[in-house]
Structure 1
Amino acid sequence: GVVVMDYDNRIASLNPSAAKIIGILSEKAVKGRALAEIREQVLLDLSEIPMHETRTIGLYDGTIYKCSLDSFIDRGFPRPFYLIESLTDELRRAEKKAYEKVIRMISHEVNNTTAGITSTLDTVEKELEGISDTDDMRQVMQVCIERCFTMSRFITNFADVVKIPKAELSPVNLNDMIRAMIRFMEVLCINRNIRLSFHAHDERLPVQIDAALFEQVVLNIIKNSVESIGADGEIVITTSAHPSVLEIADNGKGISKQVEKKLFNPFFSTKPAGQGIGMLFIREVLSQHDCHYSLRTYPDGWTRFVIQFNKQ
């Protein structure tokens, strides 16, 4: 996308690609205005980029753009312009390759080490069974063994992200799938006094998905909504057609603008003990399904995870 400024550093023109990326409906809405004036109305804020420099900017839907500010000579005077290039696919491929290699290496080393330690501790603990005054020592060894198992489970969670199976797509009625999941999802909500409701579109909504993987995505999103609310709140699931869209909204504590841009980064989490695995799983599965998705808190205070399915 390209945004061309006038001599007073106001928007003179922009191409359709730039308009789509920035998030404006028409050139008329922004023509003649400074970028700083419209920063609250657009998805991509370019106003802080210094001349002849490049910045990488991430959005709430996980997309990443390389944004550059440069100039060209027009009638003897420099005119600034912004060049916006998508880096999402390229960066994600590089990211995935890097974290898969690191996770495999760490998983191999940790599991081999903990297996040796637990085996040794177990043997020593059994040898101490017939010796008096060794109860405290045996208890300590049991604690160490349990810690080794915990560490192994911890690293296995990361390894599982690398092993996400390839999606096997088949036709599924989106409304029927959500209805079948409602009872289980209600269990997550009832003890916290969270109201869960489903507003299904009247039409049948056939989508091509891997039902097992997609159900796990929905459950992860609902779980995040429940944790965001804590207690006494509401989660609303909505489907719509043309195109087929699934929206999961909650009135929890919301997401800040700073956090929005990092939500789909590998292993990023806002939770004190979080590992960021759930959001990474969601990102990978939705990417496999070629879905467009976004997660952010809107001015009305509701946080919405929106998943749009490509035309089937």
Structure 2
Amino acid sequence: MRLKSLFGILAFLLLSILALLTYVAVHSAPWLFYTLEGLIALTFVFLLFFYRKIVKPLHTIGSGMELLREQDFSSRLSPVGQAEADRVVNVFNRMMEQLKNERLRLREQNHFLDLLINASPMGVVITTLDEEVSQLNPMAINMMGVKLEDALGKKLPEIDSALAIELATIPRGGSITIRLNDSSIYKCTRSSFIDRGFQHPFFLVERLTEEVIKAEKKAYEKVIRMIAHEVNNTTAGITSILDTVEQTLCEEGNRDELCEVIRVCTDRCFSMSRFITRFADVVKIPDPHLSLVDLNELALSCKRFMEGMCADRNIMIRLEGEKLPEVKLDASLFEQVLVNIIKNAAESIDHNGEITIRTLYPTTIEVVDNGRGISKESEPKLFSPFFSTKPNGQGIGLIFIREILSRHGCTFSLRTYSDGLTRFRIIFPIASV
């Protein structure tokens, strides 16, 4: 029972006793009656004083406890005129002011952190204690290539993203550099922060693609130019001398066998020169001259061009998909990209297979083949300079493709999926449409 109720019962009992005594006194001496009336008035005054000094302060403090329970830090208690109670009220009001300021500071700080995370050039992935994704900033969504609603509430390995799968393998407190099958390179760090006494894991993802590719390109351009210069100068001198020697020997007669050997050496020099020239062509890719191009017609043209090669290998090549809007691209450069992709697909199949060129809305084109596929170990290295899965490959075809697609602002990926099909997918930026 509340103290206020107890006080009411006490007042009622006292007044009832005094009323009873007054009734008795009426039937006895008058002086006793007046004495009891005065005592009743004095009791009433004392009860009011007792209520103001004891019960009301306690009721006010109880109201303060309700404010705390409701977390209403903007309300304040009024002084009650009782020294001890007013000290409690003053302490309570100062505490409420501090709590209000602390809450405001935390809200402002959290708002600032939200703005900072959303504007960060680094990807931020925050997970719950059950390792389910609870928050993704815009950059992380862009890096993963998924929609926010498709990632929230899921564990990282369950998300359809190569980056998310790689993030799940990072140990606590670990930091690794990841290279994906779309030539993207990321530095990923796993850490944690304390919230309400519990550690919440989070991931920081920093894009290193541009810096690494620039460094790689600068390195291999210098090496290729130096090798091309030395080889071409050397082979030019050698072929000139061999031509002179061949002409001299042929004039002498009976030197057919030796002349044939010299011609083989000359052809080999030309072959080496062409081999080096192919490397040099990678660093001489011209800037794209953009114009509006029908992607479906371009795909159809490349299909027809490659049909002869595919027919020789008993490979069926098909074109399917949706009608796409025109895209800004360099038609001649992009034709070379598409032809190279189809050629790689045919070589992966070798004989007896199928290649599908598919266009997807809004602006996506992919080449699908049922060849031998790409191993998980090879996927991260596909777009590395001079790496090739072919026995006699030079490792420059995908570098050439990467360079042209990057200059067009495309995103792309090459991987073998769980259905056994290998897909080279190219997505054009919206601005190109």
CA distance in 2 between counterparts of 1:234 and 1:94 reads 38
Residue 352 of structure 2 is aligned with which of 222, 228, 232?
Answer: 232
Partner in structure 2 of residue 190 of structure 1:
311
Per-residue deviation, residues 220-243 of structure 1 (Å, max 9, x unmatched): 1111111111111111111122x2
Within a 5 Å distance, the mapping from 1:29-44 to structure 2 comes to: 29-30=154-155, 38=157, 42-44=161-163
CA distance in 2 between counterparts of 1:197 and 1:62 reads 27
Tell me the TM-score normalized by structure 2: 0.64
Within a 5 Å distance, the mapping from 1:117-156 to structure 2 comes to: 117-131=238-252, 134-156=255-277
Residue 218 of structure 1 is aligned with which of 318, 325, 338?
Answer: 338
Matched residue type, 1:304: R
**Alignment check: 8 A CA contact 1:175 1:205 kept:** no
Partner in structure 2 of residue 284 of structure 1:
403
**Alignment check: 8 A CA contact 1:264 1:279 kept:** yes
1:178 aligns with 2:299: yes
**Alignment check: 8 A CA contact 1:23 1:43 kept:** no
**Alignment check: 8 A CA contact 1:3 1:11 kept:** no
SS at match of 2:224: helix
Residue 2 of structure 1 is aligned with which of 110, 124, 133?
Answer: 124
Partner in structure 2 of residue 92 of structure 1:
213
The 1:41/1:245 distance shift into structure 2, 3 A limit, reads: closer
Per-residue deviation, residues 183-227 of structure 1 (Å, max 9, x unmatched): 2221121122211111141x3520111111111111111111111
Q: Please state how far the C-alpha of 1:39 moved relative to its aligned partner.
A: 7.2
Identity of aligned residues (%): 54
**Alignment check: 8 A CA contact 2:324 2:363 kept:** no
Which range moved further: 46-55 or 180-189?
A: 46-55
The 1:134/1:40 distance shift into structure 2, 3 A limit, reads: farther
Matched residue type, 1:220: N
CA distance in 1 between counterparts of 2:145 and 2:331 reads 32
Q: Please state how far the C-alpha of 1:139 moved relative to its aligned partner.
A: 3.0
Partner in structure 2 of residue 169 of structure 1:
290
Residue 109 of structure 1 is aligned with which of 221, 230, 235?
Answer: 230
Partner in structure 2 of residue 301 of structure 1:
420
Which range moved further: 167-176 or 80-89?
A: 80-89
Q: Which has the higher strand share?
A: 1
Q: Please state how far the C-alpha of 1:121 moved relative to its aligned partner.
A: 2.3
**Alignment check: 8 A CA contact 2:133 2:154 kept:** no
Q: Extract unaligned runs of 5+ from structure 1.
A: none
Which range moved further: 112-121 or 75-84?
A: 75-84
Q: Please state how far the C-alpha of 1:282 moved relative to its aligned partner.
A: 0.9
1:261 aligns with 2:380: yes
Residue 56 of structure 1 is aligned with which of 168, 177, 180?
Answer: 177
Which range moved further: 141-150 or 229-238?
A: 141-150
CA distance in 1 between counterparts of 2:350 and 2:401 reads 21
Per-residue deviation, residues 152-206 of structure 1 (Å, max 9, x unmatched): 11100000111111100001111122223332221121122211111141x3520
The 1:76/1:178 distance shift into structure 2, 3 A limit, reads: closer
The 1:285/1:12 distance shift into structure 2, 3 A limit, reads: closer
SS at match of 2:393: coil
Which range moved further: 44-53 or 301-310?
A: 44-53
Tell me the TM-score normalized by structure 1: 0.87
Q: Please state how far the C-alpha of 1:129 moved relative to its aligned partner.
A: 3.1
Partner in structure 2 of residue 207 of structure 1:
327
Partner in structure 1 of residue 86 of structure 2:
none
Q: Please state how far the C-alpha of 1:114 moved relative to its aligned partner.
A: 1.1
Matched residue type, 1:222: I
Matched residue type, 1:125: E
Partner in structure 1 of residue 140 of structure 2:
18
Q: Please state how far the C-alpha of 1:41 moved relative to its aligned partner.
A: 5.3
What root-mean-square deviation, in Å, do the aligned CA atoms of Structure 1 and Structure 2 show?
2.5
Q: Please state how far the C-alpha of 1:75 moved relative to its aligned partner.
A: 7.2
**Alignment check: 8 A CA contact 2:127 2:134 kept:** yes
SS at match of 2:381: coil
The 1:248/1:12 distance shift into structure 2, 3 A limit, reads: closer
Residue 189 of structure 2 is aligned with which of 68, 77, 85?
Answer: 68
Q: Please state how far the C-alpha of 1:23 moved relative to its aligned partner.
A: 5.7
The 1:244/1:12 distance shift into structure 2, 3 A limit, reads: closer
Q: Please state how far the C-alpha of 1:128 moved relative to its aligned partner.
A: 2.8
Q: Please state how far the C-alpha of 1:91 moved relative to its aligned partner.
A: 1.1
Q: Please state how far the C-alpha of 1:280 moved relative to its aligned partner.
A: 1.1
SS at match of 1:99: helix
1:252 aligns with 2:377: no
Q: Please state how far the C-alpha of 1:48 moved relative to its aligned partner.
A: 4.0
**Alignment check: 8 A CA contact 2:133 2:151 kept:** no
Per-residue deviation, residues 58-88 of structure 1 (Å, max 9, x unmatched): 1111111011234556678876543211111
Q: Which has the higher helix share?
A: 2
